[in-house]
Structure 1
Amino acid sequence: MQRILVILILVIAAAGGTWWYLHRDDGSNALVLYGNVDFRQLTLAFNGSERVAEVLVEEGAQVKKGQIVARLDTSRLQPQVAQAEAQAASQRANLARLKNGSRPEEIAQGRANLESAKAEAVNARAQFERQNALAPKAVVSQQALDEARSAAAVADAKVVSNQKALDLLVVGSRLEDIDEAEAQLHAAEANVSLLHQQLADAELKAPVDAIVQSRLIEPGEMASPTRAAFSLATISPKWVRTYASETQLGMLRPGMKASVAVDSLPGQTIPGWVGFISSVAEFTPKSVQTEELRTSLVYEVRVFVDDPNNMLRLGMPATVTPLPGEQARLATAQQQ
């Protein structure tokens, strides 16, 4: 019995030692990835063609989103804006006049003109009738009679003309005239908006927080949309582009925390996290110099980092190590 108890204790001890050996965290099974620092770069150009008036930043300067970095000469554009605004104001007033219709004073004037024309017509008709009554007695000549008849007809036509003019004053503008005036106003306002946009485009602004890598234009030079004025490097996000083999994919997951080390910061690590794991395999890039991996199929992994002090540089070699606790939690989740 004593012998069986000893054997049982030895078996338990051996099992415990085996479990400790398999689950010990001595760093020998830790995943280590090697890659290079990467971030986005962009070229910035003016949206118009004009001579450069000012360049406000130097190479190496840190710029904020929306900050003005350069300006174009607007001496020829400003008068065009003023002219377009004046034309739009004129069209706006014309449209208001058509929509408001005739003023009461204009209608009153039209009625007065009509009454005057009617009085003249009555007088001209009376003159013609008198001339016509005397014609059989040969008191007036045929020419005088014809002239009286013509004057009466002209007076009647003037009455009709003044009546039509009064009707137009009372009715107001035609809908077609109002529509035409509205279209002309929209065209004038669109021209104003276009010139204001050109005026705004004369100020070149940084689209994101970035570092000025290259200043490619100087005051006095001619800018154009096809000519880059600045080369910028974004401050955030930054990441380490690395590659993992198929056997290492099981030890990674998006969101996993990791530490990033670079040779320029000995003894220091930068916190990061796995932000992207490619679903497509590719051949190991030439930047990875390990011969046994050079012909292997690998998957791109991006480990994003916070670098508020801008210590990391483009292409800088980096070592990525997922935190031991993260690997342990992933292993436990896979076992479950």
Structure 2
Amino acid sequence: MLKSKKALLLFIGIIIPMVSGLVAILKGHSNNKQQSLVLYGNVDIREVDLGFRVAGRLQEIYFDEGDYIKKGDLLGKLDSTPYQDKVKKAKAEADSAKIASISADKKFQRRQIAITTSAISEEDFENSMLNLKQLQANFQAAEANLASAKTDLSDCLLYSPSDGFILTRIREPGTIMSAGEPVYSLSLETPVWIRSYVDEPDLGKIYPGMQAEIITDSSGDKVYKGHIGFISPIAEFTPKTVESPQLRTDLVYRLRVIVDDPDNGIRQGMPVTIKLLQKTTN
């Protein structure tokens, strides 16, 4: 009987420390593993309206909705005939002003020699100098006008400022365009980001650069990688368009999650689930 009690005490003395150590190890692993904060948001790809800087008749347009374009692609052009005529006229005026300026300069040089011998009056000399300055200024203005006319002519061609997809083809050939009127709506390919919101209790758990996993309803098992690029310093009420498990009247902070590996599976306005990965230490 005594031996049995001793054996039991010995067993308990060995088992309890082992169990305690195992619990501590498991707790440590649990505290050090990555946890996730789940948020909801929508893909917010940037858009830009493309148009000509000058007015005119739309002559040609080369892309349709859904087409992928690259930076520098020629998208369309205006009828450039009026602007070609303006360039010709401006060049003729610049050439005429140049000739007049050269002639006035030669005349002024002769006046400089004549004034030293008192062959002309001081007033004639000053008038010659003022005339030269005026004609030189006229020549500079004519050159500036020519440069402006050439710029307007080049603006009859519309080039893509970035890679992306044509969202909307707004105008068709033959349309009389005003300056700045949009012809296309372009969805920029990069960067792709997600607009989401976090409530105040969770605000301290996130930070710029924090890693994220993004899942869409249509992506299946595919998980996109991303990170927090911006956290608003100003609180606002939860927008009605945002899915949130909290009440709509709660104050939240807007954040932007940048997608690191976007593809055609992420489209504008698409609802997504965001898992912000946070690592806690013991």
- TM-score, with normalisation over the residues of structure 1? 0.70
1:10 aligns with 2:42: no
| Distance of 1:233 and 1:273 partners within structure 2 | 21
Cα-to-partner distance string for 1:47-78 (whole Å, 9 max, x where unaligned): 22211111111111122223221111011221
**What is residue 155 of structure 1 aligned with on the other side?**
none
1:180 aligns with 2:134: yes
Q: Identify if the C-alpha distance between structure 1 residues 291 and 213 changes in structure 2 by more than 3 Å, giving closer, same or farther.
A: same
1:46 maps to a residue whose letter is F
Correspondence for 1:227 among 160, 170, 181: 181
**What is residue 150 of structure 2 aligned with on the other side?**
196
Matches within 5 A, 1:202-281: 202-225=156-179, 227-281=181-235
Query: 1:10: Cα distance to partner?
Result: 2.7
Matches within 5 A, 1:32-47: 32-47=38-53
| Distance of 1:92 and 1:4 partners within structure 2 | 112
**What is residue 24 of structure 1 aligned with on the other side?**
30
| Distance of 1:4 and 1:297 partners within structure 2 | 59
| Distance of 1:286 and 1:273 partners within structure 2 | 24
Query: 1:250: Cα distance to partner?
Result: 2.6
Contact 1:270 1:305 (8 Å CA) reproduced: yes
Matches within 5 A, 1:1-336: 10=16, 13-14=19-20, 16-17=22-23, 20-21=26-27, 23-24=29-30, 29-101=35-107, 164=119, 174-225=128-179, 227-290=181-244, 292-307=246-261, 309-323=263-277, 327-328=278-279, 331-332=280-281
2:64 maps to a residue whose letter is E
2:44 maps to a residue whose letter is D
Between the two proteins, what is the percent identity of the paired residues? 34
**What is residue 134 of structure 1 aligned with on the other side?**
none
1:64 maps to a residue whose letter is K
Q: Identify if the C-alpha distance between structure 1 residues 283 and 11 changes in structure 2 by more than 3 Å, giving closer, same or farther.
A: farther
| Distance of 1:217 and 1:210 partners within structure 2 | 19
Q: For 1:315, what is the secondary structure of its paired residue? A: coil
Q: For 1:280, what is the secondary structure of its paired residue? A: strand
Deviating 4+ runs (over 6 angstroms): 25-28
Cα-to-partner distance string for 1:192-216 (whole Å, 9 max, x where unaligned): 1121111011112222222111111
Q: Which moved more, 1:309-318 or 1:90-99?
A: 90-99
Contact 1:98 1:173 (8 Å CA) reproduced: no
| Distance of 2:234 and 2:195 partners within structure 1 | 15
Q: Which moved more, 1:5-14 or 1:84-93?
A: 5-14
| Distance of 1:200 and 1:300 partners within structure 2 | 42
5+ long unaligned stretches in structure 1 = 105-109, 111-162
Q: Identify if the C-alpha distance between structure 1 residues 250 and 8 changes in structure 2 by more than 3 Å, giving closer, same or farther.
A: farther
| Distance of 1:15 and 1:43 partners within structure 2 | 64
Contact 1:99 1:173 (8 Å CA) reproduced: no
Q: For 2:93, what is the secondary structure of its paired residue? A: helix
| Distance of 1:227 and 1:283 partners within structure 2 | 35
Q: For 1:229, what is the secondary structure of its paired residue? A: strand
Which structure's residues are more often helix, by fraction? 1
| Distance of 2:264 and 2:64 partners within structure 1 | 17
Cα-to-partner distance string for 1:273-315 (whole Å, 9 max, x where unaligned): 1111111122222233445343322211211013553321111
Q: Identify if the C-alpha distance between structure 1 residues 5 and 247 changes in structure 2 by more than 3 Å, giving closer, same or farther.
A: farther
5+ long unaligned stretches in structure 2 = 1-5
